[in-house]
Structure 1
Amino acid sequence: MAIASIQRYYLVFHRTFFDKYIIFFHYVPLSFCVIYPIILYSFLVTKYSCITDFVYSSWTCGGACYLYEPVLGSIDWIFNGCVNVVLSILATSLIITRVLIQKCRATTQRSIWNRSRRIIIQLVALSTLYMLVWVPCVICFVITLFRSVPILSSLYSSYLSYYQYLSSLLCPFVCLAGLPEVRRALNNVKPLNKQIVHDIRQVAENIKNQHRNCLESDS
């Protein structure tokens, strides 16, 4: 998400520069996002010199053993978790701030907003979803890193650890909601006609009365 936010910043404000070096700004980061976690966690989970005792009744079977080492587990959380959240917040805030400043300037500057409105709205929506999911996890981790708080540890293991999956589940719906075609289709959906609603209620009432009459006749 951090790389996507940075890419959209260059795509909005430095489009020519971005297109000129698209391999460096687009394809290389995407390849890195795919290759880096595969190599890193394949090594840490399968090759790192520690013994993992899996607990099959726990979340993620108790986790890999490297997570329970203070130094390595903290480094993994800081660089692969906290840094991503911080960069996403900074990049998104920078885009919003710059758009608002330039929107208040000359009319020629407002063309940036008109041209890139879809990208900006989608970025803000995705970043908001990402931050709502991950910021509570990062806050719990940072607090427990410096001080033992059992209630936060219990909160993370019982709720926030599953809360992370919401970003993956809701991401497609957020992307669809950012498409103007989808918004127009939703706006064109008309509520049920009052007469149709009345007819449905009348049919339900008739069925209910018939059922009551059958019960009375049987008795």
Structure 2
Amino acid sequence: MMSENYFDGNHSQTNNDNQTQSYDYPKLLLPEVVRFWLLMIFEVPSLTCSLILLYYLLIDHDLRQSLSNHVIIVLLIIGLFSQLIDIPFYLNYLRINYVWPPITISCLIWWFAATGISNLTNIIMAWASIERHILVFHDRLLSTKRKRIFFHYLPLLTIVLYGFIYYIMILLMYTCENMYAYELDWCLYPCYYNNEDLAMYDTIINSIIPTPIIAIFSIALIIRVIQQKSNHHRHFQWRRYRKMAIQLLSIAALFLLFNLPMTSLVLAHVCGLPDGSTGQFELYTYYLYHFVSLLMPFVCLGSLPEIRKKMKQIIVFQTVVHTITPGLARYAN
């Protein structure tokens, strides 16, 4: 999630009334080289893990057909935007201290990946927290193809289309004049932030509300699963409940760990807390949010034992091949 509170230096942004506003933000004390390598260490393994997961989830028929895996597939695909655009742009900025290439399209793409994709991911996760109750406790709502379209496919498709259409329109078609500050991370911020109503809608609906939804429905899921365990006549269902609950809760925990502090700060600013009043803590929350997209593939892998088993078999097979091959070579000689 990109925030206008996260920039440093004295800069200005011009709104559609040709008024200029100046901003002075503190700089994160963590050295740039440390920030760079902390992200870089996770970037390549995270991207590799995402591609491996998507390969198995899309190629394997059983995994692809499982309704509980569909939201994970969407989250991983959406996460590629952060891994391939947002984080590489930020890494390059930390390395050379300006946005490269310094052209308009770079800023627009980065804004879309940093703000749009981030908020879209949170909204999808909020829906996943709600849908998991349907998958576990109300599977009769998914018993027919028509019901699956209405209660499963249509909501997820609607959310994805909403996120892409909304942020493409607001970044490319909204009538205001952007100022592209290439010497700043994220090129400063999009000019639609200067529209108070639009900024408030984007902040509350797309940024703040998904987090309490994730928290409330995740806690409710834990309570309902524990209650089901007390029913000794449903041992088979209990194992199914536990697996599907753990899958959702592990991902939700990652989101809440990094997203809840930042969302709380954003809400506090909406309620009147002055920008920058929390100092370094605020800056660290925005920096650490990058790790949601970096760690999510590993959390997803941990919740998919079928894929872990396949990967383990491949590793064991490769180990056996490398062990046998030298022996065969010596025997041949």
Deviation at 1:114, TM superposition (A): 1.1
Shift of the 33–165 alpha-carbon distance from structure 1 to 2, 3 Å rule, reads farther
Q: Give the match for residue 207 of structure 1.
A: none
Q: Give the match for residue 258 of structure 2.
A: 133
Q: Give the match for residue 13 of structure 1.
A: 137
Deviation at 1:69, TM superposition (A): 3.0
> Could you give the per-residue CA deviations for residues 42-87 of structure 1, whole angstroms, max 9, x where no partner exists?
1111111221111112221112111233322121011011111111
Contact 1:85-1:131 within 8 A present in 2 as well: yes
Deviation at 1:19, TM superposition (A): 3.2
Shift of the 65–149 alpha-carbon distance from structure 1 to 2, 3 Å rule, reads closer
Q: Give the match for residue 227 of structure 2.
A: 101
Deviation at 1:7, TM superposition (A): 1.4
Larger RCO (CA within 8 A; separation ≥ 6): 2
Count of aligned positions: 186
Q: Give the match for residue 178 of structure 2.
A: 52
Deviation at 1:100, TM superposition (A): 1.1
Contact 2:141-2:151 within 8 A present in 1 as well: no
Counting only pairs closer than 5 Å after superposition, residues 152-167 of structure 1 correspond to structure 2 as 152=278, 155-156=281-282, 158-167=283-292
Which deviates further from its counterpart, 119-128 or 94-103?
Answer: 94-103
**Distance in 2 between residues matched to 1:49 and 1:167, nearest whole Å:** 32
Rg larger in 1 or in 2? Answer: 1
Question: Between Structure 1 and Structure 2, which shows a larger proportion of helix residues?
Answer: 1
**Distance in 1 between residues matched to 2:252 and 2:268, nearest whole Å:** 23
One-letter code aligned to 1:151:
S
Match of 1:80 among 206, 209, 215: 206
One-letter code aligned to 2:173:
K
Contact 1:5-1:123 within 8 A present in 2 as well: yes
Shift of the 90–110 alpha-carbon distance from structure 1 to 2, 3 Å rule, reads farther
**Distance in 1 between residues matched to 2:198 and 2:256, nearest whole Å:** 24
Contact 1:13-1:112 within 8 A present in 2 as well: no
Counting only pairs closer than 5 Å after superposition, residues 129-208 of structure 1 correspond to structure 2 as 129-145=254-270, 146-152=272-278, 155-156=281-282, 158-181=283-306, 182=308
**Distance in 2 between residues matched to 1:34 and 1:41, nearest whole Å:** 11
Q: Give the match for residue 61 of structure 2.
A: none
Deviation at 1:18, TM superposition (A): 2.4
Does residue 35 in structure 1 map to residue 35 in structure 2?
no
Long gaps (5+) in structure 2: 1-124, 317-333
Shift of the 60–12 alpha-carbon distance from structure 1 to 2, 3 Å rule, reads same
Contact 1:102-1:110 within 8 A present in 2 as well: no
Shift of the 133–171 alpha-carbon distance from structure 1 to 2, 3 Å rule, reads same
Q: Give the match for residue 151 of structure 2.
A: 25
TM-score (norm 2): 0.51
Shift of the 78–183 alpha-carbon distance from structure 1 to 2, 3 Å rule, reads farther
SS at 1:151's partner residue? Answer: coil
